[in-house]
Amino acid sequence: MIVKQFFAGPINANNYLLVDETTKDAVLIDCSEVKEEILETIKELGAKVKYILLTHGHFDHVMGVNEMKKHLNCEVLIHEKDVEWLSHINEALPMFGLPPAEIPQYDKNFSDGEVITFGNKNIKVIHTPGHTQGSVCFMIDGKLFSGDTLFKEAVGRVDLPGGSWNDIQNSIVNILFKLDNDTIVYPGHGDATSIRYEKEFNREI
């Protein structure tokens, strides 16, 4: 599987393109912006993006969704508990000095444990509430895409509506830290890490 990482959107979220090398089917994890670099990479790899999978509904991870759908003709999936965030996008944007934006549209919800298939690849949804109530991580081939739940040496903020320290602690300690120690973690912001490294060096858990 090919994994490509992009820094996108007003506060540099990580967007990831995952491509099944055999069939060229692909998914995009989070969509902060329609960046030329992302479109070029999709084209170069011959990737057919089936889904945009959203780790959660915060503006900095979803702002490119509507525009990207026009380019890729794919479906947008999000956990039902974060759908409400999509309609609140314009409450957050002025705080970052950004103009109002169109409300991001989605096609379907996924739920905990659901397996989404693209090409020969299966990606599993793991519901990890805490940063938001509908935050999820995606597990595939020993790689975890952790959104804003788990960062290198830190965890996602819990001071926004729906945030909960108890929930994020439970999600990390009782769900993510039960994964194989060798699992590579690709977060929604910052550098990649691993479950083993975070068990030892995370400052907040």
Task: Name the minimum Å distance from CB 142 to Zn ion.
Answer: 24
Q: Which stretch binds Zn ion (CB under 5 A): 32-40, 71-79, 146-154, 190-198?
A: 146-154
Using CB under 5 A as the binding rule, whether residue 148 contacts Zn ion is answered as yes
Spatial distance between the Cα atoms of 55 and 137, rounded to a whole number of angstroms: 6
Nearer to Zn ion, 58 or 127 (CB): 58
Between residues 19 and 63, which has the closer beta carbon with respect to Zn ion? 63
Query: Toward Zn ion, which CB reaches closer, 20 or 148?
Result: 148
Determine the Cα–Cα distance for residues 101 and 90; give it in Å rounded to an integer. Answer: 7
| By the rule CB under 5 A, 82 interacts with Zn ion | no
In the complex with Zn ion, the residue whose CB is nearer, 20 or 60, is 60
Under 8 Å CB-to-CB from 111, ≥6 apart: which residues?
A: 79, 80, 125, 127
**Contact status: 127 vs Zn ion (CB under 5 A):** no
Which residue shows structure tokens 């990606």? 123
**Rounded Cα gap, residues 146 and 29, in angstroms:** 10
Torsion of CA 166, 155, 85, 127, to 10 degrees: -70
Three-state secondary structure string covering 98-136: CCCCCCCCCCEEECCCCEEEECCEEEEEEECCCCCCCCE
* Shorter beta-carbon distance to Zn ion: residue 41 or 202: 202
Query: With contacts defined by CB under 5 A, how many residues of the chain interact with Zn ion?
Result: 2
Whole-Å CA distances, 163 to 135, 166, 168: 10, 9, 8
**Residue facing Zn ion at closest CB distance:** 58
Nearest distance, CB of residue 52 and Zn ion, angstroms: 16
Residue closer to Zn ion by CB (options 14, 19) is 14
Binders of Zn ion among 43-62, rule CB under 5 A?
A: 58
Q: How far is the CB of 156 from Zn ion (least distance, A)?
A: 6
Question: Which stretch, 10-18, 45-53, 71-79, 141-149, contacts Zn ion (CB under 5 A)?
Answer: 141-149
Rounded to an integer, what distance in angstroms lies between the CA atom of residue 27 and that of residue 120? 12
> Minimum Å distance from CB 154 to Zn ion?
13
SS3 sequence, 130-146? CCCCCCEEEEECCEEEE
Q: Which residues bind Zn ion (CB under 5 A)?
A: 58, 148
